[in-house]
Structure 1
Amino acid sequence: MGKQRSGTPTLEEVAALAGVGRGTVSRVINNADGVKDSTRRAVERAITELGYVPNQAARSLAARRADAVALAMTETDWRQFGEPFFSEIVCAVSDALAGTDIQLLLTLVRTDAERRRFVEYARGGRIDGVLLMSVRGGEPLPDMLAELRLPTVLLGRRSGDECASYVDSDNVGGARDAVDHLLRSGRTHVATITGPLDMYVAQCRLRGYEEAMRRAGHAHGPTWIVEGDFSEESGRRAMTELLGRHPEVDAVFAASDTMAAGALNVLRAAGRRVPEDVAVIGFDDFLLAQHTDPQLTTVRQPVEEIGRAMVRLLLEALEDSSRAWRHVILPTRLIRRDSA
């Protein structure tokens, strides 16, 4: 007479019924790659027939984590990787993980093919979670990772109703504070250079500009708004365009320090004194802001705190996968220097 099966099905019993090894059952349960479709179906049939609940396998998996998380950047423009924001965030996240045993993997995910490869890599259990940065509106990767139930934290958000955990700065408030400062100092012809407007962060900084201008009764038309892409070259291009349209401009709020630096170069070449003729404010407060001529008044993002908060949310999600989305918005601060 065969051995009687216990009341609670085991992983070994599923393996025996499916005619495969215990390791194959674990890979099917955890959606790992390297399993033939026919084998996967046989294991799934055995799980259903036995009524197996894979909580023991889940505990075993938790004990065998990959001890690695990915910092994935979805920016498609190679030039952006030379901007200070990327290196600052990488350093902040790396520092926040320094006290753990978790390895940080840096990867670029820019095309549909790269998305598919990354999702398959994640499906294979090679990483425990993902930190995502430079996410534009319509980016599908957060939703693809959610389908895998892989803990994911975004830097910023795709929209105002983001359905994933994220850490962000108060971009609207920071921009509003910058423009309020310009207006209180007596400037009346205030223009702005935005970031790429398919990114929610750029939309928020534009909204802060518009709110401050409207509240002060100085709202201008769309010709006072020029879109950049956060690069220094786009700041130069936008400032040239603004001077051509509105030679009377007496202040500029640029949505990043690098674009503000480009604007300063154009103003100097045009013989405009900063801040006497045109005041300039940036956003970020990277080291660059202290090395422009004149030194840049800017809105400080708490980059180190952003990195720590992203890592904290991800570690919490790794400990409790049922935890609801978490949204953290950190305050900004206007740093006054010589340019405004």
Structure 2
Amino acid sequence: MAGRQRTGTPTLEDVAALAGVGRGTVSRVVNNAAGVKDSTRRAVERAIAELGYVPNHAARSLAGRRADAVALVVTEAEWRLFGEPFFAETVRAVSDALADSGMHLLLTLVRGAAERRRFVEYARGGRVDGVLLVSAHGGEPLPDMLAELGIATVLLGRRSADEPVSYVDVDNVGGARTAVRYLLGSGRSAIATITGPLDMYVAQCRLRGYREALGRGTERDAAPAPGAPDDSWVAEGDFTEESGRRAMRELLARHPGLDAVLVASDTMAAGAVHALRAAGRRVPDDVAVIGFDDFPLAQHIHPRLTTVRQPVDEIGRALVRLLLEELEDSAVAWRHVVLRTELVRRDSA
């Protein structure tokens, strides 16, 4: 291969052929993305050095009408949600994952039909190469509108069990189920839950895990198992601290003897702990509390919060990897990635 003759500027395809890998693998190495074996990465780097290949983002942008920009789109109606750790942690993780790719990150809020139409026209005009979409509620049409235009799109989470668009999600059912089983194993028997907004699949899945652990089965089951709690043990929140406080007060009014609560986010769990304290209940002595996320907030709540950890950095890397692969090869099929969760035991349960 040392005597190989070639003319012209080496391309990504030339590097792939010399290294014996696919074009997408070369792209991941060039963009320093995760998911490439060390031996494969070394082979690609040797091919790059031998061929003298230099990634030229500006030339690629002109030749392929690329904008070298990715839009991170949040489909929420309320600006106040940007004060929630979930959004800040997501932006940080995605920004870190894109840092070496040469791509700009544009943050966009889509709050309704008019902003949705404007964003679609903006994307149609070639101003972004791809879209990462966060916090899509059930029935949100934006992913389908972008797919119809052929714009690479990856969701954080999914709108339903049958989501057709590429997504990165976590095992929300398993995480909630593990948390409730831990509470049962520690002697708790009157366990309530505070959900997220139930028009979101993530909230439905965490509720399903709660029900399965308590013998209720799936949401399609017609009746609970003997001894399983009815729906009066469920209160709906909207992932904000105030909704956690309100939902906890509702649950205490319905069931003064409850001794544990699974809360579908750390932010709502902070509100629940405040409500319990205001009602004279000790955490965890009287009521154990488990959250969901394991953002830095969890260690600043008193007592420190037992919670279900989402691997936010891994989520960011997976979102970016899927999007970059789709940008490099538009024929790549939609892919679905589900990451594991982990119960982190601290002081609140």
Band the TM-score falls in, shorter-chain normalisation: 0.7 to 0.9
Superposed counterparts of 1:96-175, under 5 Å = 96-175=97-176
Superposed counterparts of 1:300-311, under 5 Å = 300-311=309-320
Residues 251-282 of structure 1: CA distance to partner in whole angstroms, max 9, x if unpaired? 00000001111110011111111111100000
Letter in 1 for 2:112: T
Question: Are residue 257 (structure 1) and residue 258 (structure 2) matched?
Answer: no
Call closer, same or farther: CA 1:178–1:217 in 2, change over 3 Å: farther
Q: Distance in 1 between matches of 2:238 and 2:113?
A: 22
Call closer, same or farther: CA 1:218–1:202 in 2, change over 3 Å: same
Instruction: Say if 1:135 and 1:158, in contact at 8 Å, map to a contact too.
Output: yes
Call closer, same or farther: CA 1:150–1:61 in 2, change over 3 Å: farther
Call closer, same or farther: CA 1:62–1:300 in 2, change over 3 Å: farther
- Secondary structure of 1:324's counterpart equals coil
Q: Distance in 2 between matches of 1:243 and 1:111?
A: 35
Larger displacement relative to structure 2 (220-229 or 265-274): 265-274
Aligned equivalent of 2:249: 240
What stretches of structure 1 of length at least 5 have no aligned partner?
1-58
Instruction: Say if 1:296 and 1:338, in contact at 8 Å, map to a contact too.
Output: yes
Instruction: Say if 2:264 and 2:292, in contact at 8 Å, map to a contact too.
Output: yes
Superposed counterparts of 1:280-291, under 5 Å = 280-291=289-300
Superposed counterparts of 1:173-188, under 5 Å = 173-188=174-189
Larger radius of gyration: 1
Q: Distance in 2 between matches of 1:204 and 1:137?
A: 13
What is the Cα deviation at residue 61 of structure 1? 6.3
Aligned equivalent of 1:329: 338
Aligned equivalent of 2:200: 199
Call closer, same or farther: CA 1:317–1:169 in 2, change over 3 Å: same
Residues 182-208 of structure 1: CA distance to partner in whole angstroms, max 9, x if unpaired? 011111100000000000000000000
Large movers: runs of 4+ above 6 Å: none
How many residues align structurally? 282
- Secondary structure of 1:214's counterpart equals coil
Question: Are residue 277 (structure 1) and residue 278 (structure 2) matched?
Answer: no
What is the Cα deviation at residue 64 of structure 1? 3.6
Aligned equivalent of 1:74: 75
- Secondary structure of 2:332's counterpart equals coil
Call closer, same or farther: CA 1:261–1:319 in 2, change over 3 Å: same
What is the Cα deviation at residue 218 of structure 1? 4.2
- Secondary structure of 1:205's counterpart equals helix
Q: Percent identity?
A: 76
Letter in 2 for 1:80: L
What is the Cα deviation at residue 304 of structure 1? 0.7
TM-score (norm 1): 0.81
What stretches of structure 2 of length at least 5 have no aligned partner?
1-59, 217-224
Q: Distance in 2 between matches of 1:226 and 1:257?
A: 15
Instruction: Say if 1:233 and 1:262, in contact at 8 Å, map to a contact too.
Output: yes
Residues 117-174 of structure 1: CA distance to partner in whole angstroms, max 9, x if unpaired? 1111111111100000010000000010011100000000000000100000100000
- Secondary structure of 2:214's counterpart equals helix
What is the Cα deviation at residue 65 of structure 1? 1.1
Aligned-residue RMSD, C-alpha: 1.3
Aligned equivalent of 2:26: none
Call closer, same or farther: CA 1:169–1:281 in 2, change over 3 Å: same
Instruction: Say if 1:188 and 1:218, in contact at 8 Å, map to a contact too.
Output: no
Q: Distance in 1 between matches of 2:206 and 2:81?
A: 19
Aligned equivalent of 2:210: 209
Superposed counterparts of 1:52-91, under 5 Å = 63-91=64-92
Q: Distance in 1 between matches of 2:62 and 2:104?
A: 18
Q: Distance in 1 between matches of 2:232 and 2:92?
A: 38
Aligned equivalent of 1:267: 276
